Structure 1
Amino acid sequence: MSPTTIAYGYLAFAIVCEVIGTTFLVKSEQFTRLMPTLIMFVLYACSFYALTQTLKAVPLGIAYALWGGLGIVLTSIVGMVLFKQHLDTAAVIGIAMIVSGVVVMNLFSTAVGH
């Protein structure tokens, strides 16, 4: 496998860990529950480690935009499904703009390493 493919695998892992970690952040109830708090810290550490591995082949701005943007989208979906949170029209439009930005970056930017 190419280094770029491996880097994007690390990035996907980083995003998944961050989203699950954020779910446990809610479950930690402001750090008052030990087990969810510990799980959250471990997942965030794994996410940041995987993000650092991503940076071996993907530029920082691109990696962080993908990590943050996709994390926002997935975390919003988790909030709706697990926590029954509602997104209003403005939130959906904002998230769509984030997704559009990630797509534009990946399709048209020469800074993206594919």
Structure 2
Amino acid sequence: MNPYAFLAIAIISEVFGSSMLKVSNGFRRFFPSIGVIIGMGVAFYCLSISLITIPLGTAYAIWSGIGTALTALVGVIVYKENFNTKKILGLVLIIGGVVILKLAAGVSH
């Protein structure tokens, strides 16, 4: 399987696990807590598989940047958190940074 497919699964799993943290009530609710453990477990496993091929800095930047942006969107859409100009600017900067790091990874020295 393509290493970027593993990275995509890692991102989606991490977003799921992080979203479950919100409803786990400090790990007091059983099923959301299990969701956190499974989501994060799959995320780190798939991230580790992607790191066999993808450079660490590139993979981590993509994983954390896109994961942060998607988690923020889940917060806005699912949990009705505020979405304002500063949050939009922050997400644009995160995604822009990920794109620049991905482009830089393609340049060999």
CA distance in 2, matches of 1:112, 1:47: 24
Match of 1:62 in 2: 58
Match of 2:22 in 1: 26
Give the RMSD, CA atoms, in angstroms: 1.4
- The percentage of counterpart residues that share the same residue type is 37
Name which of 32, 40, 47 aligns with 1:44. 40
User: What is the identity, as a one-letter code, of the residue corresponding to 1:77?
Assistant: L
Name which of 84, 87, 92 aligns with 1:88. 84
Match of 2:31 in 1: 35
TM-score, length-normalised on structure 2?
Answer: 0.92
Q: Which runs of 5+ in 2 are unaligned?
A: none
Structure 2 counterpart SS, 1:83: coil
TM-score, length-normalised on structure 1?
Answer: 0.88
Q: Which runs of 5+ in 1 are unaligned?
A: none
Q: How many residues align?
A: 107
After superposition, give the CA deviation of every residue in 1:18-58 in whole Å (9 maximum; x if it has no partner): 00111111110111101110111011000000000000100
CA distance in 2, matches of 1:37, 1:112: 39
User: Is the CA contact (8 Å cut-off) linking 2:15 and 2:70 kept in structure 1?
Assistant: yes
